[in-house]
Chains A and B, each alone.
Chain A
């Protein structure tokens, strides 16, 4: 393979990696959920924590993104919002990921 083709592969890899990095960063930001005056990251850890606590407790306290405590009174509502936010962010990421590989 000649050097120009190798350079093209390198350039393509750069664009894919950068597009992926930026899309992932956007997804991370988009996972922020404002709930009753607090900010939470709707990531797998938060969702799993809420799901676990919900199975054992009627109401419970969790920490927001700045480590402030909040009493969760309606766990089902909170979990629904977390999942919706996370999936919204990841669907956008999934689309961007697919597009970046196809286009570049």
Chain B
């Protein structure tokens, strides 16, 4: 069985439950797959009724930060054991699913796939990380994996890297010193791939950078303003960085 796995932990600054309340109905509508939400009791109590969703309450690890704010992203390596599915589409909670595109990606025999490339929908080509590390970063926003020895090894490797993250930052000269899953998975794939590359999702991840402010979300579209211009994108999956979407 194929299903969707999401993580959702509120912080004192961001209400991820409000984002989940927007993204989960879109996933249900467009993918029609079972959904499991990994969360904690505090966040669970804030969530509105979302219909049939399988909840897994865990004690999440704390201690990481981004922009001097708490960042609860240290449990992603547990996705392999937390997922009840043979094949899992593991998504960031801020991934807005406006199409069935992910179903195509999941309909393969690959053990593990992530995006290596990103498409900035503002047209600014904001994401250039080639000088931020010695290895290419991957995007852990969308991870498609099936229960297999290789996928398990990758998640186990991410755990190993997480526990020694500063060492790996030095090794690969990663400028981003706080733990970031994108780099942890990139390192794991690099190492387990025998330093010779790995398979990726052969498409770019559509992303709206944090500098864009989301103004409206409908069942089929997102409207944002960026550098004084208002733009709408429809029927296209979108990873939204702007955490202000919790209030849209």
Contact = CB atoms under 8 A, between A and B. Distances in A.
Interface in A15-39: 15, 17-19, 21-22, 25-26, 28-30, 32-34, 37-39
B65 to A, nearest CB: 33
A39 B202 contact: yes
11 contacts: A17-B123, A18-B231, A28-B203, A28-B204, A29-B206, A34-B104, A34-B105, A34-B108, A39-B105, A39-B108, A68-B199
A11 interface: yes
Interface residues of A, number: 24
Given A22-B121, A26-B236, A66 B199 contact: yes
Contacts of A32: 101, 104-105, 202-203
Contacts of B206: 22, 25-26, 29
Main SS at interface, chain A: helix
Interface of B: 99, 101, 104-105, 107-110, 119, 121-123, 199-200, 202-204, 206, 229, 231, 233, 235-236
Given A14-B229, A15-B231, A18-B123, A66 B200 contact: yes
A12 B55 CA distance: 46
B121 A34 contact: no
Contacts, number: 60
List of 9 A-B pairs having minimum Cβ-Cβ separation, nearest first: A37-B109, A65-B202, A34-B107, A66-B199, A29-B203, A18-B123, A26-B236, A25-B119, A34-B104
Contact of B202 (A26, A37, A66, A92): A66
Contacts of A15: 229, 231
A66 B109 CA distance: 12
B236 A33 contact: no
Nearest to A29: B203
A62 B237 CA distance: 29
B123 A37 contact: no
A34 B144 CA distance: 14
Contacts of B236: 22, 26
A22 B233 contact: yes
A94 to B, nearest CB: 14
A12 to B, nearest CB: 11
Interface string A60-73: 00000110100000
A11 B227 CA distance: 12
B108 A38 contact: yes
Contacts of B202: 32, 39, 41, 65-66
A41 B204 CA distance: 13
Contacts of B107: 34, 37
Contacts of B229: 11, 14-15
